[in-house]
Amino acid sequence: MKIPSMSTISDLQKVEKKLVEIDNFKIMLPIKQEFMAAFKRYEPLARDSTLIATAKKCFRAYFFAMVLAFRLPKNGPPPYFAYGTGYHTFRHILEETFKETGEQGISLARGWEAAKDGWPGDPKITGNSYLDKYSHLTLPYLQVSCAVGFNHWKAEKLKGVIEVIAPEQPFEVTLKDGKTSGGTADQLIRWSGEPWCRDFKTTGMSPEWYERSQLDPKDQFYRYAHGVSGLVGEPLKGLLIETLFQHKVTKTHDGKPYIKSFIVSFTPSQLKRWENEQVVFERMLDICREEDIWPACETFCGNCEYHSICKVGTERGMMAKLEQMFTQKHWDFKNIDNSPPGEI
């Protein structure tokens, strides 16, 4: 492939219009390919919150995960991922069953069958303190969590205040720089007649820390509010973030999972500012693409899955280790089998 040489941002934007499609998944053509040039590139054209959050964490991590698509650890996903996916599947199937059969379909069994399908096995103690934090996320723990989710869901259905309009609702809208912003909201709902989005989360944080660090500001929720409002043709009232808290048993915690919901909403001026900021952030990524230099942002190294890659002294050594430790799979937010490179 001939790599065009470009020097200005407007030139870059012209190049981005030339796309490569892989099974309907569109990527940006690389502008310059010098760093780890032997690897194919898969940078997604559609921009979602996971992709942007990875770049905001570290440009180099973005390059590894989203441009080169080395995302999935060869020894399987981390335990929190299987747990979070199992819980999401459970809630999704509960809702689908209810849609098909109404109140007669209120049953935990079908959701649980789907949730445990594909369980990779309970986590083993690895000696890696980061992974061992999640050693309590076993199949029995997932089952207890699903039971907690079921009781919460059933109580909501009996009250009848919230109507689920569309589960797993994908959206794509064009931002003012011509880039596509997309995502998949867990649910589009009507709450007391008003349109809302609901997202299901799982976390091991305390509610206080979760509220402080995960709700606002958060690109994902701005993106949903902006994109889904465009989809339904009326402003979303807000987002309902239903979070399942999981814990290890400690001296001060009984370890039982529980649910707490949070409300996040934005004014029109906040959404406008968010869109302006997206345009600026994409221009920063344009510079990385133009130079093919992806700066390390060391503040996050302690919690980064690519730590052992970045410690290698040569580019060739880094490439060998990437291939040894990770599987290449492009990030496509419309494919629900994809694993995000971080806690969900």
Please give the residue ranges that form the binding site for ligand SF4 (CB under 6 A): 58, 60-61, 296-298, 300-301, 304, 306-307, 310
Q: Are 149 and 115 a contacting pair, CB within 8 Å? A: no
CB closer to ligand SF4, 6 vs 296 = 296
CB of 331 to ligand SF4, least distance (A): 15
Q: Which residue has the tokens 């998949």?
A: 184
CB of 48 to ligand SF4, least distance (A): 20
CB of 56 to ligand SF4, least distance (A): 11
CB closer to ligand SF4, 128 vs 250 = 128
CB closer to ligand SF4, 70 vs 171 = 70
CB closer to ligand SF4, 138 vs 328 = 328
* Residues 6+ positions from 71 with CB-CB distance below 8 Å: 65, 326, 327, 328, 329, 331, 339, 341
Q: How far is the CA of 123 from the CAs of 29, 60, 131, 138, in angstroms?
A: 39, 29, 9, 7
CB closer to ligand SF4, 174 vs 303 = 303
CB of 223 to ligand SF4, least distance (A): 22
Amino acid in the structure at residue 256: K
Cα Rg for the chain, rounded, in angstroms?
Answer: 21
Say how many CA atoms lie within 13 Å of 125 toward its Cβ: 1
CB closer to ligand SF4, 293 vs 301 = 301
CB of 29 to ligand SF4, least distance (A): 24
CB of 339 to ligand SF4, least distance (A): 17
Name the pairing type of β-strands 46-47 and 180-191: parallel
Q: Are 117 and 139 a contacting pair, CB within 8 Å? A: no
> Can you tell me the distance from the alpha carbon of 118 to that of 114, in angstroms, rounded to the nearest whole number?
8
* Residues 6+ positions from 101 with CB-CB distance below 8 Å: none
